[in-house]
Amino acid sequence: MSRIVIKAEGLSKYYRLGRVGTGTLAGDLKRFWAKTRGKPDPYAKLGQDDTFSVSEHWALKDISFDVKQGEALGIIGKNGAGKSTLLKILSRVTTPTSGTAKIKGRIASLLEVGTGFHPDLSGRENIFLNGAILGMSKAEIRSKFDEIVAFSGVDKYIDTPVKRYSSGMYVRLAFAVAAHLEPEILVVDEVLAVGDADFQKKCLGKMQDVSHKEGRTVLFVSHNMNAVRNLCSRAIVLSNGSLVFDGGANEAIAQYLSANTEREGLYSSAVFDEINEQAMVRKVELKEAKDSVLEYTSEKIRIDFSLQAKLNIPGMFLGIVIEDVNGNTIIVSSTDENEKDVLLNNRPGIIDLHVGFPGRLLKPGKYFVTFSLRTKSDKIFHRVERALSFEVVDNYTFRGMKNRYRPGAIVAPEIEYKLL
């Protein structure tokens, strides 16, 4: 039976918001004396509320969970849910207001780009510095040095001060150090989003090796649900500082996504006020959808756009992206894909545009439509993420099962089978 390496009991973290102090002891004493006498704040600015009230914010509220050795635990939630605060407490960066966090083993944290790096030191020197902070001997660091540099891909710049690195190079080296110096517990916040796609894939592979093959513990925070699903067997969901779910990764992701989708609701049309003097989308609407719901058997998914261009704009086109609730990009299309790339080119005035996607393609589920009106030189006139939301349903059953699609598939096109 695996031993417990992290045990959090009743963790809470409280912050005071607003004017906490004046910056000097004399100023604080004057403010305190005015408050006790019922006088206005002597340091309040003209026209500013001179009350002494300071609002409170509980970043975490009574969080309790255990993590076993060799487990990869995902931590998911919206921005402001308390994920980073939790990791900072576990990494001993900050202390909890109440509760305890017991940790057994050496912990390496990657909470932000270049955590623990000194900007004036070279990459080589920072590797040794980080290793020393983690408790490694110089001999241990030397034995891993070549492997770290090779993994990071910054060997050409290893003797350059890291303040001259790009954010991508920074996080490459920081992750390579944290993962290769063999901590018992590896804590990774959403810093991998800085790296390119190939490096993110390499990092996820390394974390899988660290957890599954080497038996070390990984705490992983990410908004990439596919990365959480592939790396973690278990996940916890935080919402407004509280722990709302603790269980299998797939169940946790489903809980998180369904809660967000319910709050967002479904919306089949959107109207926009004037936001750009040159060109904009005035209205977008999903047609033939009752309450934003489409039947899987629909012959075509139709979206109508009403555009307005006040000038002759060369190279203007409309780009459309359809993604699912997991953030997977399902369809990417634009009006400049074929010979009709002049569709919006040099056409001032009101333009009504019909966009049709084939039916029997999207499997049942919820989807979002993002659009952008731009030019080939990448000048953006109007862009709206998740401008539309809709749901595809399939009421067809066969032997008591909905079998028009496979649950693990991204799309569900109608496939023709014929004996020759």
pLDDT band (50, 70, 90) for residue 261: low
What is the biggest distance separating any 2 CA atoms in the chain, rounded to whole angstroms?
Answer: 96
- Alpha helix positions (H), 246-324: 249-264
Q: What is the pLDDT of residues 280-316, one digit of tens each?
A: 888 888 887 776 777 777 778 889 998 888 777 777 8
Return the residue matching tokens 């939790």. Answer: 86
Q: What is the pLDDT of residues 386-408, one digit of tens each?
A: 888 888 887 655 444 445 555 56
Domain 269-393 has CATH 2.70.50.60: yes
Does the pLDDT value for residue 54 go beyond 70?
no
* CATH assignment, 68-263: 3.40.50.300
What average pLDDT does this structure show over 345-359? 80
Coil, helix or strand for 1? coil
What's the Cα-to-Cα distance from 24 to each of 18, 40, 51, rounded to whole Å? Answer: 17, 18, 19
Domain map of the chain by residue range?
A: 4-57, 68-263, 269-393
| Token digits of residue 39 | 């006088």
Contact 130, 116 (CB under 8 A): yes
User: Residue 334 is which amino acid?
Assistant: S
Tell me if domain 68-263 and domain 269-393 are identical in fold. Answer: no
Helix (H) or strand (E) run with residue 172 in it: helix 167-180
Q: Which residues, listed in sequence order, are joined to residue 235 by a DSSP beta bridge?
A: 74, 247
Query: How far is Cα 218 from Cα 31, in angstroms, rounded to an integer?
Result: 47
